[in-house]
Structure 1
Amino acid sequence: MKSLRCGAVCMLYGTISLAVLAANARAEDLFIDSGSLWPDNNGVHVNAHGGGVLFHQGTYFWYGEHKVAGPSGNRAQVGVHVYSSKDLKRWKDEGIALQVSDNPKSDIFKGCVLERPKVIYNRKTGKYVMWFHLELIGCGYSSARAGVAVADSPTGPFTFLHSLRPNAGTWPLNATQEVTDAKAMARFEQEHKGLMGQEFAPGEQDSNTYKTFMTHWHDEDNRLEIYRRDFSTGQFCRDMTLFVDDDATAYHLFASEENQTLHISRLSDDYLSHSGQWARVQPGGKNEAPAIFNRDGKYYLLSSGCTGWAPNEARSFVADTIFGPYEPLGNPCRGTNPQNNLGPEKTFGGQSTFVLPMPGKKDAFVAMFDEWRPKNPIDGRYYWLPIVFTENGFAMEWSDAWSPDESF
């Protein structure tokens, strides 16, 4: 419609107004086109998959996995990419914020699995803190660790500090006394002797020990006991996100217990470690790809089911406190993606990764999703959709193109 109006004006006056054309081009450029190629300032598709956005001092910083072409791109060949923007549409390539290492002894040695990086700013220390899901090279997905890096600038370079399994030696806040009792735990360890928490070395996924370990803990009778199994060694950490509450307290939310249960853990004041306060969310619910935000004192959670790279039905939850309990709200997706004819049953073809609060605007949030393309991961696409609030929760309606300025 805009181009037609411009054409009518130009015909009326018999001249072509370059200023009007330029203004219309700029306006159209500010629309977010989900599923399309998103060119950066160099005309290259943004390479920040499984990512999140930090808004800091008037600028948005988008961090994500840097992918390469072909199946090898599903492992970290480069590191974490960062882009900056003032308007959420025009993105400037700021380079690699965290590079993988060429040192085989490093936890982030080139070829490891480094996924879903998120960055938050610590006002007390002045540091930018990055957390990510890490699988050591050659270990498949059996490492299930969290990696931590820090920088003095939002664009890095970030320095890798360490990796770990969270909350070793601490019980969740919502554990029962029956579980935490020392004698009960001793009996549990004796009953599962040889099958307690462990980290398998590269290549051990094909061993009988590993297969026995996995078969035992995926048995229906044992699935809800996995957090007890990992008490001493630390809890599994896979798909993850970070969240900073209104009081500047930060939380680490991640898929744990062999992807059976989400964990939410308060971070230390410097955001570099866990405080020991944590809770289990939706035990046995098989949720991953978590994203969380708060509105009017309630905490809203977005997640997906566990079907690998293939899309599935999104889930949503709400709680009155950050640690829960979280009550299911159902599938928040509405409409159909005309690019692939996928609707709510497949989350438009995407998977959740982050919810971005729009600064300075009330009840304004953007839900971020990835469309994974594992055969050629560098070609993965992004779906960003505005969140609308309903009587019972929240929803995201599919939109081919929308403007952050006009939607909130």
Structure 2
Amino acid sequence: MLRSFKRYKCSLLTFALLTFAFAGLAQQHTSIEPGGVWTDNRGKHIQAHGGGIIKYKNHYYWYGEERAQGLDTAKRYVSCYESTDLMNWTFKGDALQQADPENLGSHWVLERPKVFYNNKTKKFVMYFHLDDRSYKVASVGIAVSDKPDGPYRYVKSFRPLGHESRDIGQFIDDDGTAYLVFEDRPYGFRIAKLSADYMNVEEEMSLIPKHMEGGAIVHYKGLDYAIGSALTGWDPNPNLYATAPSLKGPWSEFKDIAPPAERTYGSQSTMMLKVTGTKTTTVLFMGDIWKPKTQWDSRYLWMPLEIGEGKLWLPSPQSFSIDVKTGESKIVSQK
């Protein structure tokens, strides 16, 4: 009887371990599904809204607004996820858990976190849009950490070069120079170089006189491409792009990145990520599909761009895979 019970316990344990193993395998993604529920290593929907990505020591780190249910409403959270293939992401925790740092009042705002790694200081520097509920403060905040996944320590806030700053974007050029893209509501959006320690904004490269937010920039085969979204709040709109021979311009007229009636397929730009491999280079459009009434369920629209020779186009979203070693992307299903 005792032996039978032991065998029964052993069988249960084996079954549990196998179930756990298969559950882990089930969470492995072989493709990215634009607009779908994107789960992390825990099987939970990724919470990295309005975010940005850096690559550090062959690992990608994705930071974004943590908008899960049940969070302390007095705090704001920036999540961090780690990946080696851009398809499967491991939750590394909340890199920043921040109480109101500047007496901004109830419903204060921390949006669009972007992290830069400074190779000289060996610090990870996080920028984010910091504001009050009426969006009158219009500043950036900075937090720093010794590790990519934090914890990050709040340092200060300011208006870059004295200008209003709401939506922000990041751009790291091929030579490693870091830039901040920020929306200055009265004038347009600005591109400015960070100081040597990344703790300030020191030089304006361009003011693009277009009232846009969600600014994103990529350098591709000798040209700089800038994407932006019109000012329609949570509602999607036709995102536009322009090109220039350098960040100082001159910038071309803006053109549609997708059929205008599609309103960027329901998304808003947050970043363009260049994946350079041994065979080719793929530029990924990263966009947010906002759901203001159920923010925790907001989705992501990632898609390889058709880009080159001054043209940029966001194809109709389809499931795709990406090989970060070769730089190749491939459509894996048709919608």
Change (3 A) 1:82 1:246: same
Partner residue, 1:298: 223
Q: Could you say what secondary structure the match of 2:202 adopts?
A: strand
Give, in whole Å, the separation in 2 of the partners of 1:318 and 1:114: 30
Q: Determine if contact 1:331/1:344 at 8 Å carries over to the other structure.
A: no
Q: Could you say what secondary structure the match of 1:324 adopts?
A: coil
Change (3 A) 1:244 1:42: same
Partner residue, 1:246: 174
Which letter maps to 1:119? V
Partner residue, 1:318: 243
Give, in whole Å, the separation in 1 of the partners of 2:305 and 2:154: 34
Correspondent of 1:116 among 112, 117, 120:
112
Q: Could you say what secondary structure the match of 2:296 adopts?
A: helix
Q: Determine if contact 2:226/2:241 at 8 Å carries over to the other structure.
A: yes
Change (3 A) 1:401 1:144: same
Q: Determine if contact 1:59/1:86 at 8 Å carries over to the other structure.
A: yes
Q: Determine if contact 2:113/2:129 at 8 Å carries over to the other structure.
A: yes
Partner residue, 1:407: 329
The CA RMSD measured in Å over matched residues stands at: 2.5
Partner residue, 1:332: 257
1:86 and 2:84 equivalent?
Answer: yes
Which TM-score applies when normalising by structure 1? 0.69
Give, in whole Å, the separation in 2 of the partners of 1:288 and 1:156: 27
Q: Could you say what secondary structure the match of 2:224 adopts?
A: strand
Q: Determine if contact 1:49/1:116 at 8 Å carries over to the other structure.
A: yes
1:370 and 2:288 equivalent?
Answer: yes
Change (3 A) 1:116 1:305: same
Partner residue, 2:139: 145
Gaps of 5+ in 1: 1-21, 168-233, 335-342
Deviations 1:227-249 (A, max 9, x none): xxxxxxx1100111111112222
Give, in whole Å, the separation in 2 of the partners of 1:367 and 1:157: 28
CA displacement at 1:149 relative to structure 2: 1.1
Deviations 1:135-159 (A, max 9, x none): 03xx411110011111110001111
1:350 and 2:267 equivalent?
Answer: yes
Give, in whole Å, the separation in 2 of the partners of 1:65 and 1:359: 27
Name the stretch that deviates more: 39-48 or 382-391: 382-391
Give, in whole Å, the separation in 2 of the partners of 1:68 and 1:109: 21
CA displacement at 1:363 relative to structure 2: 3.1
Give, in whole Å, the separation in 2 of the partners of 1:107 and 1:355: 34
CA displacement at 1:28 relative to structure 2: 8.1
Give, in whole Å, the separation in 2 of the partners of 1:109 and 1:271: 28
Deviations 1:177-200 (A, max 9, x none): xxxxxxxxxxxxxxxxxxxxxxxx
Give, in whole Å, the separation in 1 of the partners of 2:298 and 2:127: 22
Deviations 1:28-47 (A, max 9, x none): 82110011111111111001
Give, in whole Å, the separation in 2 of the partners of 1:49 and 1:243: 18
Name the stretch that deviates more: 104-113 or 395-404: 104-113
Give, in whole Å, the separation in 1 of the partners of 2:83 and 2:66: 18
Gaps of 5+ in 2: 1-21, 331-335
Partner residue, 1:280: 207
CA displacement at 1:395 relative to structure 2: 1.2
Correspondent of 1:262 among 184, 189, 208:
189
CA displacement at 1:112 relative to structure 2: 1.9
Higher-Rg member (1/2): 1
Change (3 A) 1:359 1:313: same
Correspondent of 2:152 among 131, 149, 158:
158
Partner residue, 1:212: none
Q: Write 1 or 2 for the structure with the bigger share of strand.
A: 2
CA displacement at 1:83 relative to structure 2: 0.5
Name the stretch that deviates more: 310-319 or 344-353: 344-353
1:271 and 2:198 equivalent?
Answer: yes
Change (3 A) 1:76 1:85: farther
Which TM-score applies when normalising by structure 2? 0.83
Change (3 A) 1:27 1:40: closer
Q: Could you say what secondary structure the match of 2:264 adopts?
A: helix
Which letter maps to 1:355? M
Q: What is the number of residues matched between the two proteins?
A: 303
Change (3 A) 1:27 1:309: closer
**Identical aligned residues as a percent:** 37
Q: Could you say what secondary structure the match of 2:292 adopts?
A: coil
